[in-house]
Amino acid sequence: DGGITQSPKYLFRKEGQNVTLSCEQNLNHDAMYWYRQDPGQGLRLIYYSQIVNDFQKGDIAEGYSVSREKKESFPLTVTSAQKNPTAFYLCASSRGFASGRSTTGELFFGEGSRLTVL
Amino acid sequence: AQSVSQHNHHVILSEAASLELGCNYSYGGTVNLFWYVQYPGQHLQLLLKYFSGDPLVKGIKGFEAEFIKSKFSFNLRKPSVQWSDTAEYFCAVKAGSYQLTFGKGTKLSVIP
């Protein structure tokens, strides 16, 4: 079955530690995204990547970093600089962006990773 | 920048009641509109979408939404809710070259 796999589902981290969340997709989608979900805040975009070896900051990129070395993979690192990292993190992908075409906006989501900083 | 407003933070209904969740956006050009749903313990999934054509769109599980361009609205409706509709509902808008923008979500609780 095609889909998006996020790991780990639950993660605990001590303050001051970096942590990397994995996101893998086998949908052959060009674009991938990381969102943060907090109660009452909806989904806020952290980073997105339209094509391999390229990514852009979203609305709340501070304290996060990403890489896109392969089409299938888009890991997110939550650094110690992120002031409030405890949250639910969602990875998503979408078609399009090949040859400069824009996406329709329809996203496919993974099951999420819940990070708790102790 | 575009923004999306969902009017209700938490809606509580009895089974068989009718549902309408409001969604308004701010963008004057062409938009693609979405409603996503997140059932308890499950991943976010697409409920329905509007790109063009008939402004009344039907989605899964009996949901529908109406795009009213003059009101910048895309309200979600269901004539008769079930307990299994208990979930959080997110409206989202893709406008021009902007990335998809989500509303803050509406939690729906359906009482048996």
At residue A99 the predicted structure's pLDDT band, cuts being 50, 70 and 90, is very low
Supply the Cα-derived Rg of chain A in whole angstroms: 14
At residue A69 the predicted structure's pLDDT band, cuts being 50, 70 and 90, is very high
**Which residue of B45, B94, B104 is in closest CB contact with A105?**
B94
Residues 22-61 of B with CB under 8 A from A: 32, 34, 36, 42-46, 49, 51
3-class DSSP state for residue B71?
Answer: helix
CA B78 – CA A116 distance, rounded (Å): 36
In chain A, what's the furthest Cα-to-Cα distance? 44
Given an 8 Å threshold on Cβ–Cβ distance, is B105 in contact with A40?
yes
pLDDT tens, A23-39? 999 999 999 999 999 98
Given an 8 Å threshold on Cβ–Cβ distance, is B43 in contact with A110?
yes
3-class DSSP state for residue A104?
Answer: coil
User: A48 vs chain B: nearest CA distance in angstroms?
Assistant: 9
Given an 8 Å threshold on Cβ–Cβ distance, is B32 in contact with A111?
no
Average pLDDT over residues A46-72: 95
Superfamily name and number for B3-111 = Immunoglobulins (2.60.40.10)
Residues from chain B contacting residue A48 (CB–CB below 8 Å): 99
CA A101 – CA B82 distance, rounded (Å): 40
Given an 8 Å threshold on Cβ–Cβ distance, is A42 in contact with B45?
no
Given an 8 Å threshold on Cβ–Cβ distance, is B100 in contact with A109?
no
Helix, strand, coil share (%) of chain B residues, nearest 5: 10, 55, 40
Nearest CA in chain A to B10: A40
CB B76 within 8 A of CB B88: no
CA A107 – CA A36 distance, rounded (Å): 15
pLDDT tens, B31-41? 999 999 999 98
Average pLDDT over residues A82-102: 80
Domain ranges of chain B: 3-111
CB A57 within 8 A of CB A85: no
Residue A99, by phi and psi: left (phi above 0), alpha (psi -120 to 50) or beta?
A: left
- Per-residue pLDDT, B98: 80
CB A47 within 8 A of CB A36: no
Residue position matching structure tokens 């304290």: A63
User: A98 vs chain B: nearest CA distance in angstroms?
Assistant: 15
